Amino acid sequence: MADPIVDELNSSTVKELQNEVVFDNFFRSCAGGAYLRANCNFPFDGGAFDAFAFTYAPMIGSWYGRGTSAFNTTKPQTLSNGQFDIRTLEVNITELLEDLYINNRGRNARISLIDTDSQTAVNTLNAIFEVSLFHHGQNMSGDNRSLAMNALSEAINNGMDPSWDGNVFTNYAGQSRTGVLQSPNALNGNVYWAGPNGGAAGTGVAGATGMISYDILEDQYNRCLRTGDRQGLGFPDLILSNIPAWGFMKKRIQAAQQFHQELDPVWGVHTFRFENAIVLPDPYCPSLIAGVNDPVLGNYLTSNLTMSNYTNLTTTSNFPQNSGTSTGGGTGVGTCTPGEVIFILNTKTIMFRPVSDGPFAGEFKPFIMSAENTKVSGQFLLGCTVECGSPWNNCQIMGIGA
């Protein structure tokens, strides 16, 4: 040990710490979650589970001859509902009483430890929610997320083609997608591979990432249209991607349509439009270039898909495959790199269901002191889920690299 332990300079001068200034060098903006909270917020007031009703078939009807035809008076079932349970999230704060009541106090406490930790906990909760927004809440092989909220990966799927995370969700909201509800307009979302697929008109190596184009965006946007709908669900209104794909889209769109930036009036973000949709960069959206597999927040780094694992692919998904049709039956070929992922969303079909009040409405559960030491611990709690009433009005595009 040095003798003396403190030199002249440090004995005569104290360090200057900027008052109440803490730079955040970890968390990122949560565009998707902010948009849902502002535009798709339907608080959950209680119940064993949450449900939404939907129609999946027409009534019976036909042309008939005057006085010569008997009506078919069979009553078909046309209405059912999807069911979700509310999932719960916690973020813990632990402090030591010595830090709070001895060290981090008075005029020398330039930064409040408990205030900083509280803000970091809120940021952690928001980031975990945001990463989870692009995942699912099911128990899939090798990917058990049954404790997490239901979200977009499972909602925008058709039970045949893989989502960006490699999962095929044959069930959604407790309903089977492969039975009576397999009609295109029931619970089947749109999945599209934007990379080369090895077809006669294709270029590049099948399964590698490709270039996003105006044509791809236009075609997939149009798959989500619901024109003439009296419920006002007609057009997708939000496109989300990580920052690299957001930049790729700006480069492609600017040459093909009138391009302008605008400030969203609801929550004040600078963005641009494609058709009727605002296009937002979300740093927690799945990405190969910018994604991270974080041990706390979750995984938003895309990884390769072994296509031989998929034996019921549709040709409309554009995945490399053999012998597929528009209704499935194709066997995947090679390896696909999801790369950057783009979500085209009709947020009028999406419901963010947070618990309406009480401790699970994002509130802080007060500190409780340990009986064995001076630790005190409390938690921010959130109960919620994300539901999609009409998956077919939404699309996920993957396989983008430029």
Question: Is residue 244 helix, strand or coil?
Answer: helix
Whole-angstrom Cα distance, residue 131 to residue 368?
29
Ranges of beta strands (E only) in 264-370 are 270-274, 277-281, 293-294, 298-299, 305-306, 321-322, 331-332, 335-336, 340-345, 350-354, 361-369
pLDDT computed for residue 201 by the predictor: 41
Whole-angstrom Cα distance, residue 136 to residue 145?
7
pLDDT computed for residue 233 by the predictor: 66
Domain ranges across the chain: 31-59+80-400
| Contact of 209 with 401, CB cutoff 8 Å | yes
pLDDT computed for residue 383 by the predictor: 94
What does the block give as tokens for 28?
A: 């990122």
pLDDT computed for residue 389 by the predictor: 87
- The kind and range of the H/E element at 121 are helix 113-133
Q: Can you say whether residue 43 is alpha, beta or left, with left for phi > 0 and alpha for psi between -120 and 50 degrees?
A: beta
Question: Following DSSP, what letter does each residue of 130-171 receive, concatenated?
Answer: HHHHTS--SEETTEE-TTSPP-HHHHS--SSS--TTS---SE
| pLDDT tens for each residue of the chain, 402 residues long | 566 776 654 655 556 555 555 555 555 678 888 888 888 888 988 887 777 766 666 778 878 787 777 888 788 776 666 778 899 999 999 999 998 888 888 887 777 888 888 899 999 999 999 999 999 999 999 999 999 999 999 999 999 999 999 999 999 988 888 766 555 567 889 999 999 876 544 455 788 899 999 999 999 999 998 765 555 568 899 999 999 999 999 888 765 555 555 555 444 456 788 888 989 999 999 999 999 999 999 999 999 999 999 999 988 999 999 887 777 788 998 999 999 999 999 999 999 999 998 899 988 899 999 888 999 999 999 999 999 988 989 999 999 999
Whole-angstrom Cα distance, residue 341 to residue 394?
13
pLDDT computed for residue 111 by the predictor: 79
| CB proximity list for 214: less than 8 A, separation 6 or greater | 252, 253, 255, 256, 257
Whole-angstrom Cα distance, residue 273 to residue 253?
9
pTM: 0.86
Give the DSSP letter of residue 58. P
Question: Is residue 312 helix, strand or coil?
Answer: coil
**Helix and strand totals (H; E) in the chain:** 7, 23
pLDDT computed for residue 3 by the predictor: 67
Question: Is residue 12 helix, strand or coil?
Answer: helix
Whole-angstrom Cα distance, residue 180 to residue 236?
27
Whole-angstrom Cα distance, residue 285 to residue 239?
11
What does the block give as tokens for 1?
A: 């040990």
Whole-angstrom Cα distance, residue 243 to residue 230?
35
pLDDT computed for residue 257 by the predictor: 54
Whole-angstrom Cα distance, residue 34 to residue 228?
29
